[in-house]
Amino acid sequence: MSLLDPVSVPPLAEAYPCAPARLRHYLAEEPLLSLPALADAARVLPRSEVGEWGEPCEVAGLPRAVPQAPADPLALLQSGGPGRRGVVLRDLMRLPGYRALVLRLVRELEPVIARATGPMQALRARAFISWTNLRTPFHFNPAYMLLLQIRGDRVLAAYPAAPPFLDLARREAHLREGTKRLEWRPELAAVGHQHVLAPGDGLCLPHAAPHWVHSGEGLSIALALSWQCRRTRAEADALALNPLLRKVGLPPYDPAVRRAAPWLRAAASRAGQRLGLV
């Protein structure tokens, strides 16, 4: 049986990799994605792969976060919730059953993905679980992402991976420090394209697309796949070369400005890394 609704695959092919695309899936009743199964997975995964996520919401949309004392994510899952924070399982593909499920899903995605951006690389699968209204602050992930809603509902607002939402300084800060969070300004609320996701809904986001997420009331579970391609890895290498280029008076590389793939800059960056110059 297919995991993706075949009718929703052609629109994905038209949008990927440049624009968000919705699709439908049949994973809402998958036993491995139930709360008890995910609690079992959390017990098996390394403790470093089980963490907290989200900030409590007061108002639907973009609320002000309320600081909360951290809870033990594993204990929260084992008790079945509810909690004021959510739980994320970061590397589900470590576990054979989840790896097989994700690879089944990838086999259905690959004809669309590979035709546009080549083989999927650095594939990761994560599960997000929450019991109350939670938000993920405005941020970006330097990867393509497919978010599949399994239980409950959530709203995801997507923005273009370009100024004023994502600038070169933020891209470079991520390379240096791993920083993903972006500055929020109230006027951005009316600009993002809000997608309401219910069980069976999925949303594919372009590489590095800024977004925020607000999960609804009650138990909410989502499966997220992320991946790179040859070009996005070249972009990361080219960005790493920017400090050296500035030192010698050359213009830095900015993916939002230069549309051509930076193959030569990426090769120079990798050479510089081997020589200790980058």
**Domain ranges, ordered by start, for the chain:** 6-228, 233-274
Taking the C-alpha atoms of residue 9 and residue 23, their distance in angstroms, rounded to an integer, is 7
Taking the C-alpha atoms of residue 128 and residue 119, their distance in angstroms, rounded to an integer, is 26
Average pLDDT over every residue of 3-30: 96
- Could you report the per-residue pLDDT of 128-186, keeping only the tens digit for each? 998 878 888 899 999 999 999 999 999 999 999 999 999 999 999 999 999 899 999 88
Between residues 83 and 129, which one has the greater pLDDT? 129
The pLDDT-based confidence of 86 (bands split at 50, 70, 90) is: confident
Q: Are 86 and 56 in contact (CB under 8 A)?
A: no
20: which residues sit within 8 A by CB, 6+ positions away?
158, 193, 195, 203, 204, 205, 206, 209
Lowest mean pLDDT among 30-44, 124-138, 165-179, 199-213: 124-138
| DSSP annotation of 248 | T
Preceding peptide of 67 cis, ω within 30°: no
Q: What is the pLDDT of residue 55?
A: 65
The pLDDT-based confidence of 245 (bands split at 50, 70, 90) is: very high
Residue type, 103: L
Nearest Cα to Cα of residue 184 among 204, 211, 144, 216: 211
Q: Are 53 and 128 in contact (CB under 8 A)?
A: yes
Helices (H), the chain: 9-15, 35-44, 73-79, 96-117, 168-177, 230-240, 242-247, 263-274
Specify whether domain 6-228 bears CATH 3.30.360.10: no
Taking the C-alpha atoms of residue 3 and residue 22, their distance in angstroms, rounded to an integer, is 15
Cβ atoms < 10 Å from Cβ of 111: 10
pLDDT value at 95 more than 90: yes
Q: What is the pLDDT of residue 277?
A: 77
State pTM to two decimals.
0.90
The mean predicted confidence, pLDDT, of the chain is: 89
Which whole-number Å values give the CA distances from 155 to 19, 73, 203, in the listed order?
17, 23, 11
Q: Are 71 and 52 in contact (CB under 8 A)?
A: yes
